[in-house]
Structure 1
Amino acid sequence: MKQDQKMTFGMALIPLVVMIVTMMIAVIYLDQGPHIPLIIGTITAALVAWKAGYNWKHIEESMYKGIKLALPAVIIIMLVGLVIGSWLGGGIVATMIYYGLKIITPSLFLVSITIICAIVSLSIGSSWSTMGTIGVAGMGIGMSMGIPAPMIAGAIISGSYFGDKMSPLSDTTNLASGLTGTDLFDHIKHMLFTTVPGIIIALAVYWFLGKDFGKGGANPAEINQTILALQDSFVISPWLLLVPLVVIIMVARKVPAVPALIVGILLGVLCQIFVQGGSLSEAVSALQSGYKMESGNEMVDGLFNRGGLDSMMYTVSMTIVAMTFGGILENTGMLQAIVNQILKLAKSAGSLVATTIVSAFATNATASEQYISIVVPARMFSKAYRDKNLHSKNLSRALEDGGTLTSVFIPWNTCGVFILATLGIGALEYAPYAILNFIVPIISIIYAFIGFTIVKITDEEKRALEKEEEASLNA
């Protein structure tokens, strides 16, 4: 390998153009999944890297590095599939839907589910765990009320990502603050200026959309039929609500997500056997291939015949394929070449913040992983912010506004495929209703150009930071 070989901007664009074109043909024209276009993009990226002077060993190791980065997400994805299967079989999801239909009115459902998901996600610091538990039940409640599924998914996503973004327990929140050298709570406080207006706007839109369902949009007869079908098919008990409560409390008390989800799975299996009267064989089957039932109610059957490890294999394979593509782009200098070119457009503080947000979104689309959309721009833009005397919390906020939130809009991003597997709705369908996720980046860009909440540092503070960085490099 030519160690001094640098990737040019034009060469770096080739795999992206090939991937995007093949993706459009496969997904839009042929109505196929994004796996094959990503594989074609990966092959193209490998050929470009080889042409640039990288040998096969380096290219292969780049793919492995990308996959390694996604392994924690892969484990969570598989565990969430097991959670859904065990909680469906244990009657836990049925109980949440039953009481949700009893308590929540159709007109306020979208507002209510957004707030509930926001509170849970804020408590546990995980949008994925929230969507895989509360979100699944929320889809059942809303659809039983006659509310369109994409609309429900959008509200669930908005609430889940509000809590994930603002929680001190969130991995992306800690990642953004850590990579930029920003105090965690300074980072969270700075995000309040963009995220709180975003959630207020989202709630206002959901309230407006929900008004129609309070004026006959929801069919009371269908809701009652759903309630009766749940009563006939499951043992409904408020005690079953202790299972999700236990998981939420465990994560809130800083128990890692994996052991907390495993406890949730075990409790779900016990509920299926000892509360619902199922056999051990049925419980294991629910874990492997998902829960199966025939209630006679088409909507209920559609909601409950799902889950299990097998249901997540599409998502797992998508994640692995996407990360091989992202791994080559990251580790052969292609992403760096693109970001360096973009940096030339950032002449002012406002344009620098806007460029950071757009770059984070573009990284979500190309590298297919939310974490990379934070890691790469953080590394590339850090010096540019300091050169313009901008506080690091401007960068950390821009990374979250442009990276964390926009990951859900890319169908082949790990977040997009997880939501499809968990909530059953694709990115192109729920995108118009994930209000928080697209309004916050817009607010952040507006703030940047008018200078609102853009914090600067003095020349003395800048020199101190440079000395600190130099000392750490020489240590």
Structure 2
Amino acid sequence: METKMNKGNPWALLPLLVFLLLFVGSAFITNDFAKMPVIVATLIAGTFALVMNRKEKFGKKADIFSKGGGHPNIILMAIIFILAGAFASVARGMGAVESTVNFGLTMIPANLLLVGIFVIGCFISLSMGTSMGTIVALAPIGFGIAEQVGISPALAMGAVIGGAMFGDNLSMISDTTIAAVRTQGTKMSDKFKVNFIIVLPAAILTAIILAIVTPGNTASIGGDLPYTLLKILPYLAVLIIALLGVNVLIVLIGGTIFAGIIGIVDGSFGFYGLIGLIGDGIESMQTLAMIAILIGGMVAVIKHNGGIDYMLHAITKRIRTKKGAEFGIAGLVSVADIATSNNTISIVMIGPLAHDIAKEYKIDPRKSASILDIFSCAFQGIVPYGGQILAAAGIAMISPLSIVPFVFYSFLIFTFGILAILFDLPRLKKYQEPEIIDYGEADKTI
């Protein structure tokens, strides 16, 4: 397919380079990614975008930036982020995580505990929408099992991270899913169905591999593991209702109220305790919401200056087929995640470009959203300086590099993502027109 688009301006991409130099360069110098907060690097890069292109009045550029950051798609994403944080906080506060973990461990045969840890991780991350929360909940248990059974702690942490990345990639309330769906103009339930078909074989193979590498290993968790089935219901309700296609805002608000009522009734917290948990959950997602707004504004200015057109032209001139375009999207988001070690930020950054490529080559938005999510999560679970591996390594007191070879799930979703592109899977019966998302002009929506 021959593109007719403007060749654009490569200099307009400098803000992205500034962001990467600040974030990655700081980590390289200090050996600590936390030294340069993502939001600070984003703010500096956004400011740099505003001072570029002196031919334009600063007021006009500020207007473009504001409309970009305030686009309904970006604001809705930010609202979903904070509602997801509120739900996760309330569910955790009333004991849903503990009950889910204990219920799973009670049901799992002693010789399949490592497989069970992976499966529990899949369910918790699918329900909570956070890989980090899943790792914090499960890594200590996985480490304890490893010590009792006599297997490598790195193997146990690999199982925990794999389960955590399963839901990070699929959950209706995962920030990566929210970002992928909103940037590609599709529905969460539709993206879930396509994505699930691609990654389910990876999850099954991971469970089989974990069973094979730990034959005959048994461990006793010890003591009673208290759980209440009622406390697991909010997770199940959110998952089922979201799959039915109910608006995600309704799902999250309803799930938070449901979890809050259970918590108040069983005495986990009072009314003001519930309010406090909601506030804590919102605060935990504020930074991510602000990053999304700042990146939305920066992308709008970059687009206005011709940066997005340049990237799209540079990529599409080497692409001849739809399959090549899908590999292009996969490559872009993979490189972005390797550079930033943050899969959500990678999707927010690459999403607008992926949307244009998908539109140019008639890639179904359900597929492009899935590609963004799958490949960003695959690398997020592999890079040794990513938050997930660092958290697990810290809990197990081992080197992050030692865990990487055992994150079987991340390697497998990368493999099945490649196969899905090569063999055009899943075969979608009808092309779904994406929602119209125009990333850029001051007098238009993004």
TM over 0.5: yes
Shift of 1:11: 0.7
Give the Cα–Cα distance (whole angstroms) in 1 for the partners of residues 294 and 87 of structure 2.
24
Identify, as 1 or 2, the structure richer in helix.
1
Question: Is 1:439 aligned to 2:430, yes or no?
Answer: no
- Alpha-carbon separation, structure 1, partners of 2:232 and 2:183: 32
Corresponding residue to 2:229 among 222, 230, 238: 238
Q: 2:285 corresponds to which residue?
A: 312
Structure 1 pair 196–9 and aligned structure 2 pair: CA distance change class (3 A): same
1:437: Cα distance to partner? 4.5
Deviation at 1:363, TM superposition (A): 7.3
Relative to structure 1, the CA distance from residue 354 to residue 26 in structure 2 (aligned partners, 3 Å threshold; closer, same or farther) is same
Is 2:274 the partner of 1:283? yes
Match of 2:66 in 1: 64
Counterpart-to-counterpart distance in 1, 2:10 and 2:201: 42
1:44-123 paired onto structure 2 within 5 Å: 44-48=48-52, 50-51=53-54, 53-68=55-70, 69-104=73-108, 105-109=112-116, 112-113=119-120, 116=123
The CA distance in 1 between the partners of 2:268 and 2:329, in whole Å, is: 54
Measured in 1, the distance between the counterparts of 2:322 and 2:260 equals: 54
Q: CA deviation at 1:275?
A: 0.6
- 1:267 Cα deviation (Å)? 2.6
Kept after mapping to 1: 8 A contact 2:16/2:45: yes
Structure 2 CA distance, aligned partners of 1:342 and 1:280? 54
Query: Using a 3 Å threshold, how does the CA distance of structure 1 residues 346 and 248 change in structure 2: closer, same or farther?
Result: closer
Query: Identity, % of aligned pairs?
Result: 15
In the TM superposition, residue 66 of structure 1 has moved relative to its aligned partner by: 3.4
Q: CA deviation at 1:313?
A: 2.8
Residue type matched to 1:87 in 2? A
Q: Is the 8 A contact 1:339 1:359 kept in 2?
A: no
1:363-382 mapped onto 2 (5 Å cutoff): 368=345, 370=347, 373-380=350-357, 382=359
Match of 1:140 in 2: 137
Task: Give the direction of change, closer, same or farther, for the CA distance of 1:108–1:373 in structure 2 (3 Å limit).
Answer: same
Matched, 1:247 2:204: no
The CA distance in 1 between the partners of 2:158 and 2:299, in whole Å, is 28
Please tell me the root mean square deviation across aligned C-alpha atoms, in Å. Answer: 4.5
Of 245, 261, 284, which residue of structure 2 is paired with 1:270?
Answer: 261
Give the structure 1 partner of residue 164 of structure 2. Answer: 156
* Change over 3 Å in CA distance of 1:139–1:434 after alignment to 2: farther
User: Counterpart of 1:145 in 2: which secondary structure?
Assistant: helix
Task: State whether structure 2 residue 25 is matched by structure 1 residue 25.
Answer: yes
The verdict on how the C-alpha distance between 1:82 and 1:442 changes in structure 2, with shifts beyond 3 A counting, is: same
Q: CA deviation at 1:282?
A: 3.0
**Larger RCO: 1 or 2 (CA < 8 Å, sep 6+):** 2
Q: Distance in 1 between matches of 2:26 and 2:106?
A: 43
Provide the C-alpha distance between the structure 1 equivalents of 2:132 and 2:21, rounded to a whole number of angstroms: 33
Q: In structure 1, how many angstroms separate the alpha carbons of the residues matched to 2:416 and 2:357? A: 22
Q: For the structure 1 residues 257 and 135, does the alpha-carbon distance in structure 2 shift closer, same or farther, using more than 3 Å as the test?
A: farther
Q: Residue 305 of structure 1 corresponds to which residue in structure 2?
A: none
For 2:245, what is the secondary structure of its paired residue? coil
Whole-Å separation in 2 of the counterparts to 1:347 and 1:253: 37
Q: Is 2:353 the counterpart of 1:345?
A: no
Which residue, 28, 39, 57 being the options, matches 1:35? 39
Q: Which blocks of at least 5 consecutive residues in structure 1 are unaligned? A: 1-5, 122-128, 290-307, 386-391, 456-475
Corresponding residue number in structure 1 for 2:200: 199
1:351 shift after superposition: 3.9
From 369, 372, 376, the equivalent of 1:400 is 369
Structure 2 CA distance for partners of 1:18 and 1:35, relative to 1, 3 Å:
same
Distance across 2 between alignment mates of 1:212 and 1:22: 41
CA deviation vs aligned residue, 1:336-395 (integer Å, no higher than 9, x gap) = 111112222224665444334334556777994636745433434644x4xxxxxx35x6
- Conservation of the 8 A alpha-carbon contact between 1:145 and 1:219: no
TM-score, normalised via structure 1 length: 0.64
Pick the structure with greater CA Rg. Answer: 1
Counterpart of 1:153 in structure 2: which amino acid? I
What CA deviation, in whole Å up to 9, does each residue of 1:208-237 have, x standing for no partner? 245556654x753xx336x55xx4xxxx42
Cα deviation, residue 150, structure 1: 5.9
- Supply the AA of the counterpart residue of 1:309: I
Preserved CA contact (<8 Å) 2:113 2:219: no
Distance of aligned partners of 1:212 and 1:159 in 2 relative to their CA distance in 1, 3 Å threshold: same
How far 1:334 moved relative to its partner? 0.9
C-alpha displacement of 1:86: 1.6
1:355 and 2:328 correspond: yes
Structure 2: gaps of 5 or more residues: 1-5, 147-155, 394-399, 429-446
The answer as to whether partners of 2:334 and 2:375 remain within 8 angstroms in 1 is: yes
Contact 1:26 1:37 in 2 (8 A): no
1:97/1:137 contact within 8 Å kept: no
How far the C-alpha of 1:100 sits from its partner, in A, is: 1.2
Letter matched to residue 438 of structure 1: F
**Number of residue-to-residue matches in the alignment:** 380
Contact 1:361 1:406 in 2 (8 A): yes
Shift in CA distance, 37/219, structure 1 to aligned 2, threshold 3 Å:
farther
What letter matches 1:255 in structure 2? V
Give yes or no for contact 2:105–2:116 (8 Å, CA) kept in 1: no
Change (3 A) 1:219 1:47: farther
Partner SS state of residue 222, structure 2: helix
